[in-house]
Amino acid sequence: MTRRIPASTIRRLSHYLRSLEDLEASGDETVSSEELALRGQTTAAQVRKDLSHFGSFGKRGLGYRIEELSARLRQILGVDRVWKVALIGAGRIGSALFEYPAFESRGYECVAIIDSDPAKIGTYWSELQIHGPDDLESLLAELGVELVILAVPARAAQEMAERSVRAGIKGILNFAPIRLKVPRHVPVEDVNLVMELEALSFAITQHGSEP
Amino acid sequence: MTRRIPASTIRRLSHYLRSLEDLEASGDETVSSEELALRGQTTAAQVRKDLSHFGSFGKRGLGYRIEELSARLRQILGVDRVWKVALIGAGRIGSALFEYPAFESRGYECVAIIDSDPAKIGTYWSELQIHGPDDLESLLAELGVELVILAVPARAAQEMAERSVRAGIKGILNFAPIRLKVPRHVPVEDVNLVMELEALSFAITQHGSEP
DNA sequence: CGCCGCTTGTGAAATCCTTCACAAGTTAGG
DNA sequence: CCTAACTTGTGAAGGATTTCACAAGCGGCG
Ligand SMILES: NC(=O)c1ccc[n+]([C@@H]2O[C@H](COP(=O)([O-])OP(=O)(O)OC[C@H]3O[C@@H](n4cnc5c(N)ncnc54)[C@H](O)[C@@H]3O)[C@@H](O)[C@H]2O)c1
Ligand SMILES: NC(=O)c1ccc[n+]([C@@H]2O[C@H](COP(=O)([O-])OP(=O)(O)OC[C@H]3O[C@@H](n4cnc5c(N)ncnc54)[C@H](O)[C@@H]3O)[C@@H](O)[C@H]2O)c1
């Protein structure tokens, strides 16, 4: 039942989970694929197919038990536990991310901050002291860091990625606008603002010329 | 020749454009689909197919003239001109974005900042005075704003989106973790950090259980 | 208990996207 | 001018994902 899962399915699973958390708050017990589809900008069939990749969690005639399904989704997405994260690059985007509460409330706990700026090294963000990059490998390894958020300038990103991999981390969220070269077993998610804007301007331009 | 274009094609086009800009700097005159594929983490056939959606820009036996192709890509992506952008929400993520230089250097010019915090209204970021949300519609319309970057809390996002649309804007880059409901002709790109992290933890979890 | 209305899970069909494979241009060189 | 070496542009094939459509399970009610 669990073969190769489309990336788009995973993104939708995240959506479903958020919808379920909203529903949980509002007291309902069950939800149908129809309702979930409505909130997720997709179709009921798609919801059922997405879920069917991982098993069958619903009851015919009734729908899905909200609590049960959200627990199951958390398990599938791997967010039924706390992930230890290191932030590399304590600049503008790094500080916005560090203070973003959704971060921690979703189970991503920042346990280390690393920056190369001598003016920042040694200072504290909340309880966390900012470290220089020299002892990156041992620091990450000792703390058991699994995820790295890379928010350094593009020219430093490849090196920091390689050193993080050497420290044994398991995945990278990369904000630098370059394609990182890392071993195949280390997943990388890229966040690229300029690309998002270009997708927008394309869509707008297209729209004007083709009604 | 230009039918419905896959979203993935557009993302790759952005990549090609960045690669071409690198190549431009390094003096070469032409580039092959092979070379472009190498840099873009894709295949030569994919590059040619992507481009063929929009016409034929290469010379057989030779490849693509770098300058010409990058100009053409800029045209296709709609970045051969300056887009006027408004930033709504001058908080942590808003300020990181405002100071991000890639922004302006790629033709996205911030011409207005809007925030509801009385302590921020009236203050300046660089040359730009922060406005309150009261006169949002007239402000955006007068300035001819086409793109909005929405960086307000989730609960305020839908309202700000609707008012921006009423002001005549043409697209939204949305950082709030909700699905905006806007007219079909207004494209929205969502940036959702938590979803990216969940994709990572899924990939990692999966990897462990299925070698 | 049996029927009804509802909703899931899932093969099969349809659609969308990528890869293949090759005819046809292009340049260089003899 | 002819051939060799390259490289594009593109139908057709192949693969992946989405949509369709319906059998089958479930709860409620008479
Ligand atoms: N600011 C944004 O809105 C934004 C948006 C999208 C992407 N990005 C990307 O995110 C990255 C960071 O952007 P920023 O705006 O926060 O830049 P920034 O200059 O504000 O911060 C970068 C930080 O990284 C530190 N640094 C530099 N080299 C380092 C190294 N080798 N090891 C550890 N730390 C190092 C610097 O000291 C600085 O504190 C860049 O790649 C940028 O392109 C930024
Ligand atoms: N901080 C991050 O790293 C991060 C990452 C991803 C997404 N986000 C999302 O981006 C949005 C902003 O996050 P943030 O961390 O910058 O929050 P923030 O609280 O630092 O900033 C939000 C700003 O919006 C202003 N605001 C509130 N209501 C407004 C309204 N109606 N009109 C105009 N301005 C209004 C506030 O005064 C504040 O300045 C949120 O939706 C958040 O979920 C943040």
Q: Output B20 or A3, whichever has higher pLDDT.
A: B20
- Asked if residue B68 is part of any domain, the answer here is yes
Kindly state the percentage of chain A with pLDDT values over 90: 93
Q: Considering CB atoms only, which of A79, A177, A201 is closest to B79? A: A201
Instruction: Classify B126 as helix, strand or coil.
Output: coil
Nearest CA in chain B to A211: B185
Residues within 6 Å of ligand 2 by CB: A 96-97, 100, 102; B 88-94, 114-117, 133, 151-154, 156, 160, 175-177, 193
Per-residue pLDDT, averaged over A128-149, amounts to 98
Strand C contact at CB of residue B8, distance < 7 A: yes
Find the CATH number of the domain harbouring A38: 1.10.10.10
Sheet holding A147-150: strands in order across?
A: A124-125, A128-131, A108-114, A83-88, A147-150, A171-174, A188-190
Q: Chain C: nucleotides under 7 Å from a protein CB? A: 5-11, 16-21, 24-27
Per-residue pLDDT, averaged over A8-29, amounts to 94
Give, as one character, the DSSP assignment of residue B63: B
* Residue A5 CA, nucleotide C11 C1', distance (Å): 18
Banded pLDDT at A210 (limits 50, 70, 90): low
**How many C-beta neighbours within 10 Å does residue B81 have?**
10
pLDDT of residue B1: 58
Per-residue pLDDT, averaged over A10-33, amounts to 94
Please name the amino acid found at residue A208. Answer: G
pLDDT of residue B154: 97
Nearest CA in chain B to A99: B92
Interval A55-107: pLDDT, tens: 999 999 999 999 999 999 999 999 999 999 999 999 999 999 999 999 999 99
pLDDT of residue A207: 77
Q: How far apart are CA A38 and CA A46, in angstroms?
A: 11
pLDDT averaged per 10 residues in sequence order, chain B, 211 residues: 86 97 90 95 97 95 95 97 98 98 95 98 97 97 98 98 98 97 96 97 84 48
B126 shares a domain with B52:
no
Q: Are strands B147-150 and B171-174 parallel, antiparallel or unpaired?
A: parallel
Q: Sort B76 into a burial class: Cβ within 10 Å, 0-12 / 13-18 / 19+.
A: buried
Tell me the ligand closest to A98's alpha carbon. Answer: 2
A153 shares a domain with A53:
no
**How many C-beta neighbours within 10 Å does residue B126 have?**
8
pLDDT of residue A2: 64
Q: Which residues in chain A have their CB less than 8 angstroms from residue B196's CB?
A: 173, 189, 191
pLDDT of residue B2: 62
B154, HSE (Cβ side, Cα atoms, 13 Å): 11
- Residue (of A115, A119, A110) closest to A133 by Cα position: A115
Q: Which atom of ligand 2 is nearest to the CA of B156?
A: 31
Ligand 2 center from residue B175 Cα (angstroms): 8
Closest nucleotide over all strands to A45 (CA to C1'):
D19
Interval A160-194: pLDDT, tens: 999 999 999 999 999 999 999 999 999 999 999 99
Strand C contact at CB of residue B4, distance < 7 A: yes
The reply to whether residue B173 touches residue A200, judged by beta carbons under 8 angstroms, is yes
pLDDT of residue B137: 97
- Asked if residue B185 is part of any domain, the answer here is yes
Give B108's strand partners: B83
Interval B31-89: pLDDT, tens: 999 999 999 999 999 999 999 999 999 999 999 999 999 999 999 999 999 999 999 99
Q: Which residue stretches of B41-153 are H helix?
A: 44-52, 66-77, 92-98, 101-105, 136-143
Give B84's strand partners: B109
pTM: 0.96
Q: Sort A71 into a burial class: Cβ within 10 Å, 0-12 / 13-18 / 19+.
A: middle
DSSP-assigned letters across all residues of A36-64: HHHHHTS-HHHHHHHHHTT----BTTTBE
Find the CATH number of the domain harbouring B149: 3.40.50.720
Last-in-domain residue among B76, B110, B129: B76
pLDDT of residue B27: 81
Interval B39-53: pLDDT, tens: 999 999 999 999 999
Q: How far is CA B90 from CA B119, B127, B172, B175, in A?
A: 11, 15, 16, 12
Strand C contact at CB of residue A174, distance < 7 A: no
pLDDT of residue B59: 92
pLDDT at A208 over 80: no
Per-residue pLDDT, averaged over A142-165, amounts to 98
- Asked if residue B202 is part of any domain, the answer here is no
Confirm if A150 and A89 have CB atoms less than 8 A apart.
yes
Q: Is the CB of A193 under 6 A from ligand 1?
A: yes
- Asked if residue A99 is part of any domain, the answer here is yes
User: Total domain count for chain A?
Assistant: 2
B123 shares a domain with B158:
yes
Q: What is the phi/psi pair of residue A174, to 5°?
A: -110, 120
Strand D contact at CB of residue B57, distance < 7 A: yes
Closest nucleotide over all strands to B46 (CA to C1'):
C18
Identify the domain containing residue B184 by its residue range.
83-195
- Asked if residue B190 is part of any domain, the answer here is yes
Which residues, including other chains, have CB under 8 Å from residue B11's CB and lie 6 or more apart?
A195, A199
pLDDT of residue B206: 86
